[in-house]
Every structure is written in structure tokens, then in C-alpha cells.
Amino acid sequence: MRFDVLTLFPEMFSGYLTQSLLKLAIERSIVSVDLHNIRDWAQDKHHSVDDRPYGGGPGMVIMPGPAVEAVEAVQKLDVTPGRVVMLTPQGRPLNQRLVEELATHPRLLLMCGRYEGFDQRVIDILEPEEVSIGDFIINGGEVAAMVVIDSVIRLVPGVLGDEDSGRYDSFSTGNRLLEFAQYTRPREYRGLQVPEVLLAGDHQKIAKWREESSLQRTRKQRPDLLNE
Ligand code: SAM
């Protein structure tokens, strides 16, 4: 799976790309993440990428030229056309179903906004999938792009050590509800015991207990999921 990230702050990804599951996936060539600085497609001698909004108001807007031309040039770097995804609060809210859809594409181009976002003509021309990570505002699309990469790579075969560990995650295909309660050693902590059924090794009973635990948690913490 190939990700191309278009950003004005590529340095923000340096720590992220060199840690944990993503680092291993990159080392094993299961995933690649290429960073592209939108400023490289600036069209004047000052390398400007943003300007004041027409109509007035605070902040700056990313100009259409550098953004559109960056995407067009990056598309040409691989024979597989990438699905263009723009991180924006106006987008479709990210949930596990959307993550599953995104993971069906072998290549994603992630466009990270800054300031007041992209000029509307970038959206009109590129027709990206607009994706929001929630009803709140963060400073730039980079953290949102990392959320997309982090959630999508979990579904790429070979990334998780045990494929089943993703299948039973909350919201996932094997379990559209919340995941069941988990326990590890010690058996007793501050007077709280691990449920006996998890210690006895009867897999049918364990599966039934987990199903019930998942339902109970969902009823209590996310009853909205039961109606989906
Ligand atoms: N003025 C814009 C608005 O009200 O929609 C917010 C711009 S925000 C400060 C700058 C950039 O951060 C956006 O262009 C987008 O790329 C990113 N961003 C902010 N919140 C986001 C969210 N909830 N989901 C995805 N991206 C977000």
C-alpha cells in the first residue's frame, strides 16, 4: 500500500514514520509513505503557497496552483493512480467503515491543509474524497493524515503480527460493537479478580462471555452502535 502525503510541514512525519508498526511495515516493504512539500510547486520567486481570502476576513488560504499541480505531479510518480483524500473538517467523518473503504485502494494521496484550508477550486478540480477526523478543529491536516495512515495500515495484510487482532477490534467487521473487556496478569489486583471463565480454557464459554461483555459495554458506553 502506498501513501503520498502532500503537506507544507513534511518534518512533522519524521518521528511518526520511524516508530512501531509503521516502521516495521515500511522496512518490510508492505507500506510506503512518501512525503511531498506543496511549496515545491509554488509559482513565484517568493515560493508563496497562500494568500489572503477574497472577501476579507482573518487567515490565509492555500492557493490553487501549487496544490493542484503538486497532486498532478505526484500522481505521475507511480503507474497506480492514487485516490485523492483531502483532510478537512468539512469532510465525511472518519469511522471504521470509511477506513475499510480507504484500505481497498492500493494508493492514497493525502492532502494536508493549513491556515484556513484550500481554495475551493482545488476541491472543484481534483474532486477528492474529503475526510474529517471529527467535529473539532486542529491546526493542520498532518495529524489527521497520520490518523488515516494509522487506521488504514492495520487492515493491510501483514502489518499486524496477528491478523485476528484487528478483526475483533471495536467497530470492526468481526465486531461492529465495542470490544469485550481484556485482562492480563496478575489474576488479582487490588482485590479485583480476573473473571474465572477466562482462566478455565473452555473456548466456547470464553467466546460467549466475550460476546456478552461486548454487548454490555456497548449498551452502557455507545448504545447508538446497537441501532446501526
Ligand atoms: N477554517 C477551517 C474551517 O473552519 O473549516 C479550518 C482550518 S484548520 C485550522 C487547517 C487545516 O487543518 C484544514 O485545512 C485541515 O486540513 C486540517 N483540519 C482541521 N481540523 C480537521 C478535522 N477535524 N479533520 C481533518 N482535518 C482537519
Angle between helix axes 20-27 and 141-153 (nearest 10 degrees) is 70
Show the 3-state SS of 188-223: EECCEECCHHHCCCCHHHHHHHHHHHHHHHHHHHCH
| Per-residue cell: 11 | 518534518
Checking ipTM against 0.95, whether it exceeds it is: yes
The answer to whether 71 touches 109, Cβ cutoff 8 Å, is yes
pLDDT of residue 174: 82
144, containing H or E segment? helix 141-153
Q: Domain map of the chain by residue range?
A: 2-153, 177-227
DSSP annotation of 222 reads: -
Q: How far apart are CA 85 and CA 10, in angstroms?
A: 17
- The whole-angstrom separation of Cα 78 and Cα 26 is 17
pTM (predicted TM-score): 0.96
Return the active site residues: 89, 116, 154, 169
Determine which residue's CA is closest to atom 2 belonging to ligand 1.
116
Ligand 1 atom 7 nearest Cα: 116
Neighbours of 44 (CB within 10 A): 10
Instruction: Give residue ranges with CB within 6 A of ligand 1.
Output: 87-90, 112-114, 116-117, 132-134, 136-141, 144
Is 3 among the annotated ligand-binding positions?
Answer: no
The residue written with cell numbers 466456547 in the block is 204
Collapsed DSSP state (helix, strand, coil) of residue 109: strand
The pLDDT profile of the chain, 228 residues, written as one tens digit per residue, is 999 999 999 999 999 999 999 999 999 999 999 999 999 999 999 999 999 999 999 999 999 999 999 999 999 999 999 999 999 999 999 999 999 999 999 999 999 999 999 999 999 999 999 999 999 999 999 999 999 999 999 999 999 987 777 878 999 988 899 999 999 999 999 999 999 999 999 999 999 999 999 999 999 999 999 987
For 23, the enclosing helix (H) or strand (E) is helix 20-27
Pairing of strands 50-51, 61-62: antiparallel
Nearest CA, atom 12, ligand 1: 140
The alpha carbon of 178 and the centre of ligand 1 are apart by a number of angstroms equal to: 28
Tell me which residue has its CA closest to atom 21 in ligand 1. 89
What CATH architecture does domain 2-153 belong to? 3-Layer(aba) Sandwich (3.40)
DSSP state of 171: T
Can you give the pLDDT at residue 39? 98
136 known member of a binding site: yes
Contact assessment for residue 8 and residue 112, using Cβ atoms and an 8 Å cutoff: yes
Q: By the 8 A CB rule, do 222 and 178 touch? A: yes
Best probe residue, ligand 1, of 8, 9, 63, 88 (max atoms within 8 Å of C-beta): 88
Are both 2-153 and 177-227 of the same fold? no
User: What is d(CA 226, CA 228) in angstroms, rounded to the nearest whole number?
Assistant: 6
Ligand 1 centroid to 6 CA: how many Å?
A: 15
Domain 177-227 CATH (choose: 2.40.110.10, 1.10.1270.20, 1.10.12.10, 3.40.50.300): 1.10.1270.20
Ligand 1 centroid to Cα of residue 104, in Å, is 25
